[in-house]
Chain A
Amino acid sequence: MESTFKYELPALRVLENEHRFLTSLADQWHAIVLGFERDIYSLEEGREALQSLRRQLIDFIEPYKNHTEKEEAILFPLLSKYVGDEQGPIHAVEEEHEEIDAYMGHFLHHTRGDVNDMSLEDMKAVAKDAGEAFEVITIHFIKEESILFPMVINILRAQEQDRLFDDLYTPII
């Protein structure tokens, strides 16, 4: 059977599956962000949409953090033994994790109060943070899959690849 996964290596399939899951969740809340960008909401609809966006983003954060914490604790240290983490791809993706956290944190901070006090323009401005988080997440996953994942195949020894799978094979939900 031809797999729909790009990577057959078990450790990478675990991460790829997590990327797919997180992407499908992100697609759902990003649809609301696009609604703000396209001005489809009235004031009342916008308030409901913003509350829904906040709820969905909160639901997204737990599995997302479970995923990134695994990468930071298991994958990155293993790869950095060979490529370092002061600069280069590991350093770059770690910085992206921080960038995503910052955008999501910013959005949650600005929507923590009563959204009924916000104008449509305020809501559009706040939703932009969620939109930025989505953009970085999307690029970040592509970058990991096209740069880091091949490194796992090409650089790590078979024994390390097996250990990586054992360590990564924990659910994020």
Chain B
Amino acid sequence: MKIVIADDHAVVRSGFMYILNYQEDMEVVATAADGLEAYEMVAKHHPDILLMDLSMPPGESGLIATGKIREDFPETKIIILTMYDDEEYLFHVLKNGASGYVLKNSPDEELLTAIRTVYDGGTYIHPSMATSLVRQFVQKDYQEEETDPYKILSRREIEILPLVAKGYGNKEIAEKLYISVKTVEAHKSKMMEKLNLKSRPELVEYALKKKFLNF
């Protein structure tokens, strides 16, 4: 497989180039010192894999270049090389189209595994980062569950919510739903409490956000 290495440190480029060329199934066809040069080398060589350092001052960063290269050369798979085991970076680079995320201080074997995994169509994330990725997804799911009106509100409260948001009075809602005004008041009060809302404008905003109102 053809590989391009982008890193602003010449000694790092040399080391990776040696290790990868030592493998019988890999060949480094070009190296680059910043994101712009990485783009040019990918355009010229159409490699299977681009190993991209995330931080390459003063040139274009790996993060910006990743997005551009992914867009213009989707056949080239990008693996991010970084010093950072920071989940923020991980999410940004994955969002920008990277297929792998390897820490620079990882053993050589891990880098080689990452390259082969990504080349075969998979995604490789450094094990400690994979844990944080899963945690983030779990948290996201939990947060969504916490704010999901269908999980928090009762069926009757869900019926009342858009009507209150649209400005219907308690009497009108009671008539529409064939229930008493007191029952409407009770549901409305409980609903506001569950959603931690204090006023009708807040309720309107919430109803809009959760797509209960269609105009």
Using a CB–CB cutoff of 8 Å, the interface residues on chain A facing chain B are 1, 3-5, 10, 13-14, 17-18, 20-21, 24-25, 27-28, 171-173
Contacts and interface: CB of A to CB of B under 8 A. Distances in A.
B107 interface: no
A28 B10 contact: yes
Contacts of B14: 21, 24-25, 28
Contact of A24 (B2, B17, B19): B17
Contacts of A24: 10, 13-14, 17
Interface stretch (B22-30, B49-57, B141-149): B22-30
Q: Is the interface of B mostly helix, strand, loop or mixed?
A: helix
Nearest to B31: A24
Q: Is the interface of A mostly helix, strand, loop or mixed?
A: helix
Contacts of A28: 10-11, 14
Contact of B27 (A5, A10, A21): A5
Given A17-B21, A20-B21, A173-B15, A3 B27 contact: yes
B7 to A, nearest CB: 12
Given A4-B29, A173-B15, A17 B24 contact: no
A19 to B, nearest CB: 10
Interface of B: 2, 10-11, 13-15, 17-19, 21-22, 24, 27-29
Contacts of A20: 17-18, 21
A25 B11 contact: yes
A171 B17 CA distance: 13
B155 to A, nearest CB: 63
A20 B31 CA distance: 13
Given A10-B24, A25-B11, A28-B11, A173 B29 contact: no
14 contacts: A4-B27, A4-B29, A13-B21, A20-B17, A21-B17, A21-B21, A24-B10, A24-B13, A24-B14, A25-B11, A28-B11, A28-B14, A172-B18, A173-B18
Contacts of B29: 4
A171 B21 CA distance: 11
A159 to B, nearest CB: 19
A13 B28 CA distance: 13
